[in-house]
């Protein structure tokens, strides 16, 4: 079966190969381009600010793959979780370990250090507030990050 193309339909959908922030030329009907509608520099700055202030959850052993969207189900009994929260003048690191997590202290410390470096780069550990959370007895501040 031979496929047909209808030229008028070519502009109905965005090409998935073209990044969304790439300028799209205005067509001959005067439709504004994406660049005319959105200031990409402001958008990049807003996204960067959002990403640095939003709490991020890291699940062992994935220190370089934070979860920006997470819920209580991510706190599995066999998980080690590190939640990084960047407040105005304080960087907080919440450490939560499930009751069935199997790993030695050295692995835990290495994971926590890797998460901190991934989140904030090289930083003096004295600039951080480390908070150890107890499974089934979590602090209100920690739990508020999951809403």
Q: How many CA atoms lie within 13 A of 37 on its CB side?
A: 11
pLDDT band at 97 (very low <50, low <70, confident <90, very high): very high
Q: What is the pTM of this model?
A: 0.65
145 class by beta-carbon count within 10 Å (0-12 exposed, 13-18 middle, 19+ buried): middle
Q: Is residue 4 part of a domain?
A: no
Q: Are residues 46 and 64 in the same domain?
A: no
Q: Are residues 113 and 45 in the same domain?
A: no
The proportion of the chain whose per-residue pLDDT surpasses 90, expressed as a percent, equals 48
pLDDT of res. 87 = 87
Q: Is residue 6 part of a domain?
A: no
In 3-137 the beta strands, taken as DSSP E runs, fall at 56-59, 80-86, 91-97, 128-133
**What range defines the domain where residue 137 resides?**
54-144
Structural domains counted in the chain:
2
Beta bridge partners of 85: 92
109 has pLDDT over 70: yes
Q: Is residue 11 part of a domain?
A: no
Per the model's pLDDT, the better-predicted residue between 22 and 41 turns out to be 41
């Amino acid at each position: 079966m031979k496929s047909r193309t209808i030229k008028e339909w070519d502009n109905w959908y965005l090409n998935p190969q073209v990044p969304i922030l790439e300028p799209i030329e205005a067509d001959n009907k005067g439709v504004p381009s994406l660049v005319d509608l959105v200031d990409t520099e402001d958008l990049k700055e807003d996204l960067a600010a959002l990403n640095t202030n939003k709490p991020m959850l890291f699940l062992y052993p994935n220190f370089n793959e934070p979860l920006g969207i997470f819920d209580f189900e991510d706190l599995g009994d066999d998980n080690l979780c590190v939640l990084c929260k960047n407040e105005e003048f304080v960087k907080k690191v919440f450490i939560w370990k499930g009751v069935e997590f199997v790993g030695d202290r050295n692995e835990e410390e290495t994971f926590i250090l890797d998460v901190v470096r991934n989140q904030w780069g090289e930083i003096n550990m004295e600039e951080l507030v480390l908070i150890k959370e107890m499974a089934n007895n979590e602090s209100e501040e920690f739990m508020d990050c999951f809403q």
